[in-house]
Amino acid sequence: MGDSLITIVAIVLAAVLIFVFPLMSVSERNDDIAQLAVDTATTEFVNDVITTGKITDENYDKLVQTVTSTGNTYDIELEVRKLDENPGKKSNLLAKDKIGENLYYSVYNVQIEPVLQDTGVYPLKEGDMISVNVKNRNRTIAQMLRGFFYSMSGSDNYQISASHSGVVLANGN
């Protein structure tokens, strides 16, 4: 009796060790590699935008394609902060070591994507800032397996995320 109980426990343990443990490990590695790909793609995209001074359809598509080729779906959040130096001209320059008072105003995906679709290029100017946030929207296998064994609180848990930002270095048009 006692022997067969141990056998059952051993079979369950073996099943976990043989299937679930490697699966978890492999899927975790998979996520790591996806993370790496997403990180690199995001950095490349941002660096390209800041050195050329424009977001092009091509680059954006490349970013979308590279990140989705990891087998997950992603939210790509673009934010461009546009530099407006005009208010600085009207300041009184009381502090002589201060270079004006500049303002930034932001545009996001909703403003950027229609322009990209229409003209293929979203021009920026020197001094603007761009930041890109990429997060996975679906649950990856690793997340599911982890959820099976222990649950994590919060609904917006994401496994793969990359963010990158920079100041635009060139005038785009």
Partner 1 sequence: MKLQHLTIIFIIIVLPITLLLSAYTDAQIDILTLQNQYDDMLLTATYDGIKAFQLNASYNSLSNVSDALREDVESAISAFMQSLSVKMGVGGYDINHMKGYIPAILFTLYDGYYIYTPVKTTDEDNNTTYEYMLKPYNYYTVRYKNETGTKDVVINYTLDNYIVVYGWIDGQYYVKSGYLVSNNRSADIESSERLYEYAPFKYTTGSDDITYPTYDNIRTMGLNPKEITSDYYNPDIKSTHEEYLYPRNDNYYVDPSSAQKYYSEALEFTSWVNENLSWITSDMAMRNADYLYKLYEENNDIDYDEFTIKKYIFRFNTTDNNPEDSNSIFAQHKTAVIRSSIQDNLNQSISTYSQGSASEYEYKLPKLDINEWNMLSTNVCMLTFLQGIPMKTKYYNNYALVQSTRNNLYVSPDSLYFISDGDGDGKADDGYYHKIDCKYLNDGGKITGYSNFDFVLKKLNLKDESDKAYYKHYEQACYYCIVDSANYEKVSWQEVANRRKAYYTALAREKYRRYITTDHLEY
Residues lying near partner 1 in the complex (CB under 8 A)? 7, 10-11, 13-14, 17-18, 21-22, 25, 28-29, 32-33, 35-36, 39-40, 43, 47, 50-51, 82-86, 89-93, 96-97, 99-100, 107, 111-112, 115, 122-123, 125-126, 164, 166-167, 169-173
Q: Toward partner 1, which CB reaches closer, 51 or 65? A: 51
Q: Toward partner 1, which CB reaches closer, 74 or 122? A: 122
Q: Toward partner 1, which CB reaches closer, 36 or 144? A: 36
CA–CA separation, 90 and 102 (whole Å): 11
The CB-of-71 to partner 1 minimum distance in angstroms stands at 16
CA 16 to chain centre: 33
Q: Toward partner 1, which CB reaches closer, 102 or 156? A: 102
The CB-of-157 to partner 1 minimum distance in angstroms stands at 20
The CB-of-128 to partner 1 minimum distance in angstroms stands at 9
The CB-of-167 to partner 1 minimum distance in angstroms stands at 7
Place of tokens 């590695």: 29
Q: Toward partner 1, which CB reaches closer, 51 or 68? A: 51
